[in-house]
């Protein structure tokens, strides 16, 4: 039951030899989701040996170049490498125009369909849903329209203990009821409770991605108790004024959101190229919130606890 995040780029607007522009791969139950796609993302995917034809859903937060300029190149490579399957792209409505004009001018007719889903920067909306996962947009506060993304596992069904199935000779009809948390009545009239026959429910996990944004109070409720919160920290508190003007956050502000939302862990990134090291971001955030992680290219972060289903 994989749920993790691989950082492909965590620099801010001007890429350096140290940090690529923003991109992440979120792996939920072995489905790969690409979140933002700065210049050079396809090279990073290759470098970190992520099979990029397995990516069927790409989420773009906003139309600043460091978050989308790698998208057309990636789409082009998908095409050249023979992709046939649908690609879903979620982002600001104008992103579709950008994709279309680039493909038109390069006289490219894709071998696969792009299904475009325009995000609404004003409201939290479900963008993707399958049997085990929802992905929602998170309205952020930036110089231009921008959304984050919230990945949340759906509640897990209860799992009936194997020894109880044997002991009570449970039938499929009993098991269906127990999995839903209902009682099951055996043929001899005995009532079996879900509590007795099932393992305690596995806690669903959640990952929130918030880049780029100024400090935004209403985010706290939206990312309440997520396991991992990626919150941009372009600046340190010494550059608070600059953060305000550019609609970015400081490490301290990111930590304040994490602390108020009572998340499990905070992951910092989107570091301005003016800083030569990132430990000071961690130190600043840790004054407010204890569990701080630093994004770096190639690092992989587990979301919540590792779930290994045995029995």
Which one from 4, 30, 36, 66 is the annotated catalytic residue? 66
Q: Which is nearer to a copy of itself, 120 or 134 (CB)?
A: 120
111 binds a copy of itself (CB under 8 A): no
Instruction: Check if the beta carbon of residue 88 is closer than 8 Å to that of residue 117.
Output: yes
Of these, 69, 158, 257, 266, which contacts a copy of itself (CB under 8 A)?
A: 69
Structure tokens at 199: 């393992």
245 binds a copy of itself (CB under 8 A): no
Spatial distance between the Cα atoms of 43 and 172, rounded to a whole number of angstroms: 49
Half-sphere exposure of 125 (CA within 13 A, CB side): 11
25 binds a copy of itself (CB under 8 A): no
Of these, 17, 51, 131, 190, which contacts a copy of itself (CB under 8 A)?
A: 17
Least Å distance, CB 278 to a copy of itself, is: 18
Contact characters 132-161, a copy of itself, x per CB under 8 A: -----------xx-----------------
Least Å distance, CB 252 to a copy of itself, is: 24
Question: φ and ψ at 183, to 5 degrees?
Answer: -80, 155
Of these, 43, 110, 240, 264, which contacts a copy of itself (CB under 8 A)?
A: 43
Least Å distance, CB 70 to a copy of itself, is: 6
Nearest to 92 by CA among 70, 61, 58: 61
Instruction: Quickly tell me which residue has 């919130």 as its tokens.
Output: 289
How long a stretch of residues is the chain?
311
Q: Which residues contact 172 (CB under 8 A, 6 or more apart)?
A: none
107 is catalytic: no
Question: φ and ψ at 91, to 5 degrees?
Answer: 180, -175
77 binds a copy of itself (CB under 8 A): yes
Alpha helices in 190-250 (DSSP H): 194-197, 219-222, 240-245
Instruction: Check if the beta carbon of residue 75 is closer than 8 Å to that of residue 113.
Output: no
100 binds a copy of itself (CB under 8 A): no
Least Å distance, CB 69 to a copy of itself, is: 5
Grouping H, G, I as helix, E, B as strand and the rest as coil, residue 62 is: coil
Least Å distance, CB 124 to a copy of itself, is: 23
Question: φ and ψ at 33, to 5 degrees?
Answer: -120, 130
Grouping H, G, I as helix, E, B as strand and the rest as coil, residue 152 is: strand
Of these, 27, 56, 96, 102, which contacts a copy of itself (CB under 8 A)?
A: 102
Only one of the segments 53-61, 64-72, 125-133, 168-176 lies at the binding site for a copy of itself (rule: CB under 8 A); that segment is: 64-72
C-alpha distances out from residue 20 to 9, 27, 207, 247, Å:
4, 20, 22, 20
Q: Count the residues of the shown chain that bind a copy of itself, applying the rule CB under 8 A.
A: 35
Least Å distance, CB 273 to a copy of itself, is: 9
C-alpha distances out from residue 236 to 32, 160, 218, Å:
32, 50, 22
124 binds a copy of itself (CB under 8 A): no
In terms of C-beta density within 10 A (0-12 exposed, 13-18 middle, 19 or more buried), how is residue 88 classed?
Answer: middle
Least Å distance, CB 159 to a copy of itself, is: 42
118 binds a copy of itself (CB under 8 A): no
120 binds a copy of itself (CB under 8 A): no
Other beta carbons within 10 Å of 212: 27
70 binds a copy of itself (CB under 8 A): yes
Residues that bind a copy of itself (CB under 8 A): 13-17, 20-21, 39-40, 42-43, 46-47, 63-66, 69-70, 72-73, 76-77, 80-81, 94, 97-98, 101-102, 105-107, 143-144
Return the active site residues.
66
């Amino acid at each position: 039951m994989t749920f993790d995040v691989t950082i492909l780029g965590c620099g801010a607007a001007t890429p350096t030899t140290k940090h690529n522009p923003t991109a992440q791969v979120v792996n939920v139950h072995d489905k790969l989701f690409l979140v933002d796609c700065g210049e050079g993302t396809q090279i990073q995917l290759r470098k970190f040996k992520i099979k990029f034809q397995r990516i069927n859903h790409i989420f773009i937060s906003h139309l600043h170049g460091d978050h989308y300029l790698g998208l057309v190149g990636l789409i082009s490579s998908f095409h050249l490498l023979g992709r046939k399957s649908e690609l879903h792209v979620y982002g600001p409505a104008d992103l579709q125009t950008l994709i279309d004009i680039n493909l038109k001018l390069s006289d490219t007719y894709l071998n696969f369909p792009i299904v475009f889903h325009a995000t609404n920067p004003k409201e939290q909306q479900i963008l993707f849903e399958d049997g085990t996962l929802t992905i929602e947009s998170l309205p952020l506060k930036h110089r231009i329209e921008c959304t984050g993304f919230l990945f949340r596992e759906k509640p897990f069904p209860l799992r009936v203990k194997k020894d109880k199935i044997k002991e009570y000779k449970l039938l499929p009809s009993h098991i269906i009821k127990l999995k839903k948390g209902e009682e099951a009545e055996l043929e001899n009239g005995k009532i079996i409770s879900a509590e007795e026959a099932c393992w305690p429910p596995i806690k669903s996990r959640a990952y929130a991605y918030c880049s780029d944004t100024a400090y935004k109070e209403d985010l706290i409720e939206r990312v309440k108790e997520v396991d991992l919160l990626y919150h941009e920290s372009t600046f340190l508190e010494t550059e608070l004024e600059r953060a305000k003007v550019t609609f970015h956050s400081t490490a301290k502000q990111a930590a304040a959101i994490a602390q108020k939302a009572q998340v499990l862990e905070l992951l910092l990134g989107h570091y301005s190229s003016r800083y030569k090291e990132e430990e000071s971001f961690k130190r600043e955030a840790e004054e407010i919130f204890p569990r701080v992680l630093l994004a770096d290219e190639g690092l992989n972060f587990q979301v919540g606890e590792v779930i290994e289903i045995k029995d």
